[in-house]
Amino acid sequence: MIHARTDAKRLADSLGFAIPDAVKIATVVSELARNIVAYAGKGTITLEVVAEPRVGIRISARDDGPGIADVAHILSGKYKSRTGMGLGIVGSKRLVDRFEIDSGPGRGTTIVAVKFMGNR
Amino acid sequence: MADSTKASQNPLEDVALLRTVLDAIPMRAFWKDRESRYLGCNTLFAHDAGLERPEQLVGKNDYDMPWKKEESDFFVSVDRRVMESGKAEYHILEPQLRADGTQTWVDTNKVPLRNAKGEVIGILGTYEDVTARKAEEEELRKNRDKLEELVRARTSELEVASNQLREEVKQRESSQAERDRLQQQIIEAQKRAIAELSTPIIPVMEGILVMPLVGSVDSMRAKEIMRSVLTGIGQHRAKVVILDITGVPLVDSGVAGHLNKTIQAARLKGARTIVSGISDAVAETIVDLGIDWTGIVTLSDLHTSLLAALDSVGFKLVREQR
């Protein structure tokens, strides 16, 4: 987890992201990694550089865990997880420019988040 | 009948005919008495023995011939066996040293000769030279042996190679496992060292504790932090705890949750907590994440936090007038 967010921070810094944005990217990686560890046990986080429409970083988090039964409920922000804050997914969504979640019971969870440079 | 009568009437003619026949066949032919003395042969045999004409052979034995002594011993022993058993033997493969010095292989047949009463009176032998065939066979055998040897060598080479490979794979696996184990040990040891080092409690003044946090805060470290804070409050009768997070690179919901718990636990022990050192980037992230720290006193830096803490315990920093 620590490696994942250190890598994310380093990648963001090397691309020339502003410090707050780099911290946000690292935080999103941290949140998604925490979710994987907490709910699925293991999974993968992939970092990619995107060039279109602007330079950015795409974070893909994928696991084969139990999946999320009610994605809409989670995204509404009313959900309180057992880790307390219940902000992992909703908060991450607010930190990035694009956020897609594909999940369902028994088919794991895939989250793709993109943060572009120089926005927000 | 007429023919046989005619033949018997002219025995000389019969002998000549027999000789012609014996010399015409492509085989060597000879006959011996019971003591293995030669009684006659064809011209091919005489030549093998180094004689010009068959008559020169009569009365001689094998030891008078050019063949080696052990070859002669063998010829005579076979003669005896055939004469004693009365049974012919065919295709006896024998070595034979000739008068011209060539060492040959011969394929010999020996048949017992009987008189009118059926008694064995000697043997008739024929043979043909199979040196070339034998050499071919020998060549084939050698080639086959060579091939087999090559196959054996190649097989054992392959076996050695595959054993080496297996061994290497095993070694690599075990050394990888060993490395992983060592690395894990180092990580564990470092975790313990960092846990001890990274949660230092500094009692700066009566009733005030400062805990500077450096590095990532995971759940294990969060527990250490809480334990240090609670013990520190007890030991120093602290009223205010300053958690300085200047050195924490990012605050996600997990870290925020851990800090919240520590702050609540400190409150139960009668101490207020000030969180200091929140950088602009971290502040922005906390807001975007939606972390609610409204009930928590947060100040930008350690200096401000210290002044606030002093104030709350009833101290004031006054510059001495000189």
Q: Per-residue pLDDT tens for A49-106? A: 998 888 999 999 999 888 887 777 777 766 655 554 456 788 888 899 999 999 888 8
pLDDT at B268: 93
Chain A CA closest to residue B216: A2
Contact A13, A38 (CB under 8 A): no
Interface of B with A (CB under 8 A): 216, 218, 249-254, 256-257, 260-261, 280-282, 284-285, 288-291
From A117, A114, A116, A120, select the one nearest A32 (Cα to Cα): A114
From A99, A94, A13, A49, select the one nearest B249 (Cα to Cα): A13
pLDDT tens for each residue of B83-101? 999 999 999 988 888 888 8
Q: DSSP readout, B180-196?
A: HHHHHHHHHHHHHHHHH
A27 and B216 within 8 Å at the Cβ level: the answer is no
pLDDT at B109: 95
pLDDT at B255: 84
Element (H, E) at B205: strand B202-205
Give, in order, the Cα–Cα distances in Å from B175 to each of B161, B165, B168, B172, B230: 21, 15, 10, 5, 44
Asked if pLDDT for residue A19 goes beyond 50, the answer is yes
Cis amide linkage into residue A53, ω under 30° from 0: yes
B257 and A85 within 8 Å at the Cβ level: the answer is yes
B218 and A88 within 8 Å at the Cβ level: the answer is no
The residue to which tokens 């922000």 are assigned: A77
CB atoms within 10 A of CB B310: 18
Q: A2, A10, A23: which to substitute to probe chain B, counting the most B Cβ within 10 Å?
A: A23
pLDDT at B120: 93
B254 and A85 within 8 Å at the Cβ level: the answer is yes
Contacts of residue B18, defined as CB under 8 A and 6 or more positions apart, other chains included, come to none
pLDDT tens for each residue of A96-106? 999 999 988 88
ipTM: 0.81
Query: Amino acid identity of B127?
Result: Y
Query: Amino acid identity of A28?
Result: V
CB atoms within 10 A of CB B202: 13
pLDDT at B11: 66
What's the token pair of residue B304?
């401000």
Question: Quick one: A19 exposed, middle or buried, by C-beta within 10 A (0-12, 13-18, 19+)?
Answer: middle
pLDDT at B2: 46
pLDDT at B1: 44
pLDDT at B5: 47
Q: DSSP readout, A54-107?
A: S-EEEEEEEE-SS--S-HHHHHHT----TTS---HHHHHHHHSSEEEEEE-TTS
pLDDT at B111: 95
What are the beta bridge partners of residue B205? B208
Asked if pLDDT for residue A120 goes beyond 50, the answer is no
Stretches where chain B sits below pLDDT 70 are 1-12, 192-198, 322
